Structure 1
Amino acid sequence: MSNTNVETVNRGSERLKLGLAVLVLAAGIVGYSILETQPGLVRVGVFVGALIVAALIVFFSDTGKRTIAFARDSYGEVRRVHWPSRKEATQMTGIVFLFVAVMAVLLWIIDKGLEWVIYGLLLGWK
């Protein structure tokens, strides 16, 4: 079992900020729908503006700060990964395709063998 802690939003102010962000986003969606007689640029502007305001609200919350810190840590980990060369990736892809083909043939043989035993020998249907 893992000993990692799961962090949830416990404080009322954090819940209020996240709830407000959801309401602002919902208001942007409703505004986009209500302004159907307006030009498309205005409608998209209302939605994008609401999206930016909601993102700023989340960004300044503790949850947003933790998410950004997690993203930075994840990016650092990805940069430290040893990525395979093109030749290694191609070889590994070929090995996987070969394995899949061999397994497909093997399963087909087993299927036909079981079909012959069950329908041919036991039931006598063929």
Structure 2
Amino acid sequence: MATTDVETVGGGADKAKLTAAAALVLAGFVGFYLLSAQGAWVQWLVLLVAFGAAVALGLTASPGQRLIAFGRDAVKEVKKVVWPTRKEAGQMTAYVFAFVVVMALFLWLTDKLLEWVLYGLILGWR
């Protein structure tokens, strides 16, 4: 029997923070629709402020901290990548296009050869 690791929210404080963040998102939606008479700017401002506060609160919880650490690690790994120079990228692109043209010609010639063998020689339809 295989066991799987299940990640759970840390403690009560983390659960409270995530619940409060969800409540802020819900409050943002409710405020957006209740303030329709105030104008679109007020609606969107309330929605964005509520979402921003929810994200900020969610990032202070343990899962949010793990997300931030993952992002930092991802940036470190991307910085380790050796990117090709402009010349190398152009050469590799030219190689790919040349290969595509050669393969297209090969497949077209193979198709025409099989068409000639099957329809011309074997079946005599031409």
2:7 maps to 1:8:
yes
User: What's 2:90 paired with?
Assistant: 90
Higher mean alpha-carbon deviation, 12-21 vs 69-78, is at 12-21
Further displaced range: 17-26 or 88-97: 17-26
Which segment drifts farther, 16-25 or 97-106?
Answer: 16-25
Is this contact kept in 2: 1:9–1:15, CA < 8 A? Answer: no
> Structure 1 residues 39 and 124 mapped into 2: Cα distance closer, same or farther (>3 Å)?
farther
Alignment TM-score, normalising by the size of structure 1: 0.74
Identity %: 44
Question: CA contact under 8 A between 2:9 and 2:62: conserved in structure 1?
Answer: no
Residue type at the aligned position of 2:82:
H
Task: State how far apart, in whole Å, the 2-side matches of 1:35 and 1:54 are.
Answer: 19
**1:125/1:81 CA distance change after superposition, 3 Å:** same
CA distance in 1, matches of 2:72, 2:54: 21
Structure 2 match to 1:55: 55
- Runs (5+) with no aligned partner, structure 2: none
TM-score, normalised relative to structure 2: 0.74
The answer to whether the Cα contact below 8 Å between 2:9 and 2:63 also exists between their aligned partners in 1 is no
How many correspondences in the alignment? 122
In angstroms, what is the RMSD of aligned CA positions? 2.8
SS at match of 1:84: coil
Q: Which runs of 5+ in 1 are unaligned?
A: none
